[in-house]
Chain A
Amino acid sequence: MSGKTHHSKLVLLGDTAVGKSCLVVRFVRDEFFEFQEPTIGAAFLTQTVTLDDATVKFEIWDTAGQERYRSLAPMYYRGASAAVVVYDMTNRESYDGAKSWITELQRRGDPNVILALAGNKVDNEEQRQVPKEEVQEYANENGIVFFETSAKTAQNVRELFVEIANKLPKTEQADEASAFPVTDDVSEEKRGCC
């Protein structure tokens, strides 16, 4: 156990009404409730995941899913170490939207960013429109973490974030808590804004 806390900026993308906020609220609220930092909105939330060898503190940046705000997304995913693209598995269109987000991230985002797909509302199996196999194949091809989740039942919610935490590189100047550049090598430090 290194005892180090790695801060990770995780950006949440996906069409509106796929349950992005619910998913993350479920993740944040479900665990360690007693240590919950107070928050009013769900737009920005933090949650800590403890792994065997490290602790990852996710800073989760929600983005507005409406199409009209799409062009603003780069301001949010800039500097993120992970991106979770959420779709609603009962809504084919939202999956198409998710794929276009993935494409955009692959094209414009940081190549080291961990990408994840979350097919939400899996509790609503009878209305499924997006077959799991199809998405799994797509995810495998693109090296993307994929889970079908339910914000309602908490199914796979924590698993999703733990998997991302596992995949995050832990070697880089990870400890933001000591982000105060005491030394001269500040060039890295100052790049990570937003």
Chain B
Amino acid sequence: MSESDAHAHAPVYEPIFGDDARGNGDASYDPFASLQSDGAVSGVSEERRGGGVSNYEQRRQDLLDSARAAQAAFVTDHEQGRQPEEDDTDSEGNQSGAGSTDDKRELPPGFAFPVTTQIMQFLNKISTQPGPPLPGEATLRALQRYQSNGSHGSRTSGASTTSSQPRNRGSGDADSTRRNDEHTLSDRENVSLSEQPPSSTPANTGSAQVEDASAQSESASQENETPNSVTASKPKKTQTPNGTDSTAKSSRKSAYATFIQTLKEPRAADTVAAIKALVLHFFKEAAALQREDGDAAPVWDDVPGQDSALARQFQAAMRKLEAKMRANAQWKNDCEEAWAATCEALEKFVLLKLHGAFFCATDRERTLDQALCDRIKSLTFVRASHLDVHHFGRNNLEQWQKAGSELAKMNEFKSPRDKVICVLNACRLLSSLLGDDGRLPGADDLLPALIFVLLKENPRNVHSNVSYIASFRNPARLKGEAGYFFTQLASAAAFVQTLDSSMLSSVSASQFDALVAHCQRKLAEDAAFSFGWEGIRPEEEAKVLAEAQGVSHGAEAILPLRDAQQETSDVAVGLDKAAVTLGELLSESEPSPASTVEAWKAQRLRFKDRTAESLTLGEVSELLEEYKALASVVDALAVTRSPDSAKNGATLDDDDSI
């Protein structure tokens, strides 16, 4: 479907705003929502209204007006790709709108109601300005969307629903939407591997897999879906052995939708108001943070974001909100499992709204993302062998790439949990590629493989994703398997950032520098340059290294060789010419016995007639040795013949290296 294609090649922010809205793709929200809006208002008890209706009405009117203007500006300002989020915000926003009557009364302690007309006006101003995003703009836009939808959700609901519905997925069906919810809200013990929101995304999944997933979607089975294409040969395994699972599963089917539905009930008005207050509070916090824009240097030996003040504050507020909800009659009697699902839904609900404010929202985050991305680009020469990744080859290239795209799917999801599942899926795929002889791959195999995938895939916003997950995923849920594989990603990113020659196999410091410089040169010519999954070609690497070797040899007259090399594009030919040069040198130098030349030709020139294509990787080091040997002979000969030329060579060489 064209929609899904568009989605697959979407620009930076599009998938983010597009896909995660799937949780709310249900059109039935809208009529309910508008009814509910009224219902909630009428359901609000008199006592609330007792306090200052006119005040409230006044403010509401203000909000409505400015929000309308803001939304108009927003819609003209943005591509359609962001619409679904409006839909998403809409159905929920309606709720919040309904609950907004509670604002004054129900603010939890410590939460101020930050949105004023001034802010809205500020939003309008910002959103109509063209050009690159300003710091804080993401937050403010999100706030703006949130406000506008929340204030008059019933107006926008119809339109946005229809516009978003086809975008959801290629298969575009409500089934997969629901299935996603259900995956998304499965119980935390199975956070692990049973759920694959990504598998319902057509963009990166093979069609067979999508079908497979669909086939299973209605059954309550907990089978591993995502890596099917890879692990087809392995027997399917049932995820959880205990029998309670399937019943539990069906009961929490579309738990997110259930949660949203619950929020629409009049008695949930308090909760909705509390949620809304929390969301608004953190909009403000995040916006303030963006203006300050911390300048601390990144610490790469720890998970970024984990201990940020904002994260701590957010987690504390969430725990408080959860406690408050748990005490509410609606959830009081839920079993632990149902309650856990509710908390998952709550986290998703809140973070769908706050994603724009929290995710990659500061200049610092963007800078770090870009730094990591650039770093990875400059390491594009890295081959699997450099990282001792032994299970990579042409025959399974596709599966490796698939693992990479699974990882990149992080950017298509907004809730931290869904992002974690993308990481899990990537790691699962990798694990299935790594085992041999029945031996299960451990971290010794997995981490290098993940680093390799990270280097080759170079997904966007890795730093931001890691930081976002660490900050805003409930820490109690970021344990166990999810926590482990998340740590794998975080440490892989840290490794890449600090990578130097000592961390790659068979690359010396000078060689590493030369290769990085080579990549950077190529990148300067073409920003999209990459050596791809196979890394630098051996002959190209050899050439770069040979040149670097020449530089490091420094002053000692290997000038003829270097000249010869620079004329050619590959080492074999370069050596060939060098050999000719040597031959000429030798033939001109009388004292040299002919037998020496013959011995050289026999021993040393065995690469003479080889082509670059016929060289194997194993021969590169041999070739380099030959080259060095030749160079030293030439060196010796040149010095004997003409000390002056040697000196010239030295000067030129130095100039060259500068």
Q: Which of A55-63, A90-98, A110-118, A141-149 contacts B (4 or more CB under 8 A)?
A: A55-63
Nearest Cβ distance between residue A9 and chain B, in whole angstroms? 7
**Is B651's beta carbon under 8 Å from chain A?**
no
Write out the residue numbers on chain B whose beta carbons fall within 8 Å of the beta carbon of A35.
Answer: 241
Q: Is the CB of B479 within 8 A of A192?
A: yes
Would A66 and B470 count as touching, CB distance under 8 A? no
Q: Do residues B301 and A192 form an inter-chain contact, with CB atoms below 8 A?
A: no
Question: How far apart are the CA atoms of A71 and B491 in the complex, in Å?
Answer: 9
Does B78 belong to the interface (CB within 8 Å)? Answer: no
Of B319, B323, B388, B435, which contacts A190 at CB under 8 A? B319
Question: Is the Cβ of B448 less than 8 Å from the Cβ of A43?
Answer: no
Decide if A109 is an interface residue (CB 8 Å cutoff). no
Contact digits for B287-310, partner A, Cβ 8 Å, 1 yes 0 no: 000000000000001110010000
Chain B 463-480 per-residue mask, 1 if CB under 8 angstroms from chain A, else 0 = 000000010000110111
Instruction: Give Cα distance in the complex from A193 to B319, angstroms.
Output: 15
Task: From the candidates B227, B340, B432, B484, name the one contacting A44 in the complex (CB within 8 A).
Answer: B484
Write out the residue numbers on chain A whose beta carbons fall within 8 Å of the beta carbon of B445.
41, 43
Contact B484 A180 (CB under 8 A): no
Count A/B pairs, Cβ under 8 Å. 173
Q: How far is the CB of A55 from chain B (nearest CB, A)?
A: 15
Q: Does B428 contact A (CB under 8 A)?
A: yes
Minimum C-beta distance from B402 to chain A (A)? 15
Q: For the complex, is A54 an interface residue (Cβ under 8 Å from B)?
A: no
Closest approach, in angstroms, between the C-beta of A172 and any C-beta of chain B? 14
Is A194 in contact with B224, judged by CB distance below 8 angstroms?
no
B411-446 at interface with A (beta carbon < 8 Å): 427-428, 430-432, 434-435, 439-446
Whether B476 contacts A181 by the Cβ 8 Å rule is yes
Segment among A72-80, A119-127, A131-139 that sits at the interface with chain B = A72-80
Contact-residue bracket for chain B: 35 or more
The reply to whether A38 and B237 contact each other, CB–CB distance below 8 Å, is yes
A83 on interface, CB distance cutoff 8 Å? no
A156 to chain B, nearest CB (A): 20
B322 is an interface residue with CB less than 8 A from chain A: yes
Contact yes or no, A194 B495, CB < 8 A: no
* Chain B interface, DSSP helix/strand/loop, else mixed: helix
B486 & A66 in contact (Cβ 8 Å cutoff):
no
User: Which chain A residues lie closer than 8 Å to B495 at the CB level?
Assistant: 68-69, 72
B-side contacts of A174, CB under 8 Å: none
- Decide if A184 touches B323 in the complex (CB within 8 Å): yes
Q: Which B residues, 236 to 264, have Cβ-Cβ distances below 8 Å to chain A?
A: 237-241
Closest to A186 in B: B319
Residue of A nearest to B491 (CB): A72
Verify A43–B238 contact, CB threshold 8 A. no
Q: Using Cβ atoms and an 8 Å threshold, which residues of chain B touch A51? A: none
Say whether A41 contacts B446, CB under 8 Å: yes
Interface residues as binary, A83-108 with B (CB distance below 8 Å gives 1, 0 otherwise): 00000000000000000000000000
Question: Which residues of chain A come closer than 8 Å to B470, judged between CB atoms?
Answer: 193-194
Chain A nearest CB, measured from B267 CB (Å): 20
State the CA gap A59–B443 with chains docked (Å).
Answer: 14
Q: Chain A residue with minimal CB distance to B498?
A: A71
At the interface, yes or no: A183 with Cβ under 8 Å from chain B?
A: yes
Given known contacts A41-B442, A42-B442, A178 and B336 CB-to-CB distance under 8 angstroms: yes
Given A64-B448, A75-B494, A181-B319, A194-B478 contact (CB < 8 Å): yes
Counting CB contacts under 8 A, is B490 at the interface?
Answer: yes
Q: A64-B447, A180-B343, A186-B319 are in contact. Are A76 and B336 (CB under 8 A)?
A: no
List 26 A–B pairs whose Cβ atoms lie within 8 Å, in order of A's numbering: A20-B444, A21-B439, A21-B443, A25-B440, A37-B240, A38-B237, A38-B239, A40-B231, A41-B440, A42-B440, A42-B441, A43-B446, A59-B479, A59-B480, A59-B484, A176-B476, A177-B336, A182-B326, A184-B320, A184-B323, A186-B319, A190-B312, A192-B475, A194-B303, A194-B306, A194-B487
- Contact residues of A with B, CB < 8 Å? 7, 9, 12, 16-17, 20-22, 24-25, 34-35, 37-44, 46, 59, 61-66, 68-69, 71-72, 74-76, 78, 176-184, 186-187, 189-194
The 7 closest A-B pairs by CB, nearest first: A21-B442, A41-B431, A38-B237, A193-B475, A42-B440, A186-B319, A62-B443
